[in-house]
Amino acid sequence: MNPLSALFGAAVRARNDFYDRGTFETRRLQGPVISIGNLSTGGAGKTPFLLLLGELLKQRSILFDVLSRGYGRETKGVAQVDPAGKAWQFGDEPLLIARKLGVPVIVGEDRYAAGVYAEQNFGPQLHLLDDGFQHRRLARDFDIVLLTPEDVRDSLLPTGRLREPLSSLARADAVVLSGNLSLDSLPDFVKQPWRVQRSIFAPQITDLCFAFCGIARPGPFFAQAQQAGLNIVATHSFRDHHAYDSRDIRKLLYLRDRYRATAFVTTEKDAINLGEQLRRLGTVHIVALRMELENADAVLNELLARVSERGA
């Protein structure tokens, strides 16, 4: 292991030990907390999975809110996301969640403070904690961790993208596998993982499309766009959470014309980050990244039963 990664890993283990022993304080909200997180710095599909879980909860008329850090926003403190707001105010993913689910989404660097705000305004209902696996200051009743094939092959920061080693999966209540990840590649303590399939919802689009995005792992998005039947003539990726400016628009228009495309295709997250710049691009097909959970009803029953037991 790289010495810097070894040092990072030692710091992570020490921090987790302090929480496990109670040296570092953990604070609990009145309502139950379900955390959705991952081991890497991004690209595991946390937001699509949260949207999936949120829709399953809504189908059962279960009231809930979402607590998020609000990564990438230029504001500070606790705030409720206005679905009509901007990415710089709340962060692109919280804004997407608020628009798609239509439930209260509260952002705050301190997720406990965000939860207190939610309970003061909406009551002690169920909380979905976005990107919460490493945010151990807030107690949770169920920990969900998404794992990709790339995570299993990766190394710890700063040489890799892992924020924690695979051994940290031991404290997860459920491990969600995406892609073609086999059980043989997982630690022995991961006994019954949940499985999801990721896909793209794209209507019948016949345009020659130039695909672009600013997400953590653009490769799978471009591949899924091809698999969905879109005619992709070329692609371009920006960094994750990219805030588009006029130079980016000029570049994209140049690339579209260079490859003789007649339209663009991008993600819902990028559409949010484009904001008012979106209209300058002409025809843009915005496709939704979707997840399907195997045995969804049984999985949700198991989750809710465990949460109820721990809250009793």
Cα–Cα distance measured from residue 180 to residue 169, given in angstroms and rounded to the nearest whole number: 18
The two tokens of residue 97 are: 């969640």
Tell me if 46 sits within 8 A of 92, measured CB to CB.
Answer: no
Tell me if 57 sits within 8 A of 127, measured CB to CB.
Answer: no
In terms of domains, do 174 and 217 share one? no
Q: Residue 301: give the domain boundaries.
A: 3-196+293-311
Is residue 158 reached through a cis peptide bond, with omega within 30 degrees of 0 on the bond before it? Answer: yes
Q: What is the pLDDT of residues 173-227, one digit of tens each?
A: 999 997 777 777 787 878 779 999 888 877 678 999 999 999 999 999 999 999 9
User: End-to-end distance of the chain based on CA atoms, in angstroms?
Assistant: 44
Which conformational region is residue 18 in: left (phi greater than 0), alpha (psi within -120 to 50 degrees), or beta? alpha
In a domain, 277, yes or no: yes
Give me the CATH number covering residue 149. Answer: 3.40.50.300
In a domain, 212, yes or no: yes
In terms of domains, do 160 and 74 share one? yes
In a domain, 180, yes or no: yes
Q: What pLDDT score was predicted for residue 1? A: 72
Q: What pLDDT score was predicted for residue 275? A: 95
Q: What pLDDT score was predicted for residue 286? A: 95
What value does the mean pLDDT take over residues 46-66?
97
Range of weakest confidence among 32-36, 52-56, 190-194: 190-194
Q: What pLDDT score was predicted for residue 179? A: 73
DSSP letter for each residue of 172-228: -SEEEEETT--GGGS-TT--S-EEEEEEEE-----SEEEEEE-SS-HHHHHHHHHHT
Tell me if 264 sits within 8 A of 281, measured CB to CB.
Answer: yes
In a domain, 276, yes or no: yes
Question: Which amino acid appears at position 55 of this protein?
Answer: E
Q: What is the pLDDT of residues 258-288, one digit of tens each?
A: 999 999 999 999 999 999 999 999 999 999 8
Q: What pLDDT score was predicted for residue 312? A: 59
What value does the mean pLDDT take over residues 99-118?
98
Cα–Cα distance measured from residue 241 to residue 272, given in angstroms and rounded to the nearest whole number: 10
In a domain, 38, yes or no: yes
Question: Which amino acid appears at position 5 of this protein?
Answer: S
Cα–Cα distance measured from residue 220 to residue 199, given in angstroms and rounded to the nearest whole number: 10
In terms of domains, do 222 and 305 share one? no
Cα–Cα distance measured from residue 257 to residue 187, given in angstroms and rounded to the nearest whole number: 49
Tell me if 212 sits within 8 A of 252, measured CB to CB.
Answer: yes
Asked if the model's pLDDT at residue 294 lies above 70, the reply is yes
State the pTM of this model: 0.94
Q: What pLDDT score was predicted for residue 200? A: 86
Q: What is the pLDDT of residues 122-166, one digit of tens each?
A: 999 999 999 999 999 999 999 999 998 889 889 999 999 999 999
In terms of domains, do 26 and 167 share one? yes
> What's the number of domains the chain is made of?
2
What value does the mean pLDDT take over residues 115-124?
97
In terms of domains, do 156 and 300 share one? yes
In terms of domains, do 164 and 85 share one? yes
What value does the mean pLDDT take over residues 215-240?
94
In terms of domains, do 49 and 134 share one? yes
In terms of domains, do 163 and 244 share one? no
In a domain, 202, yes or no: no
What value does the mean pLDDT take over residues 234-256?
97
In a domain, 288, yes or no: no
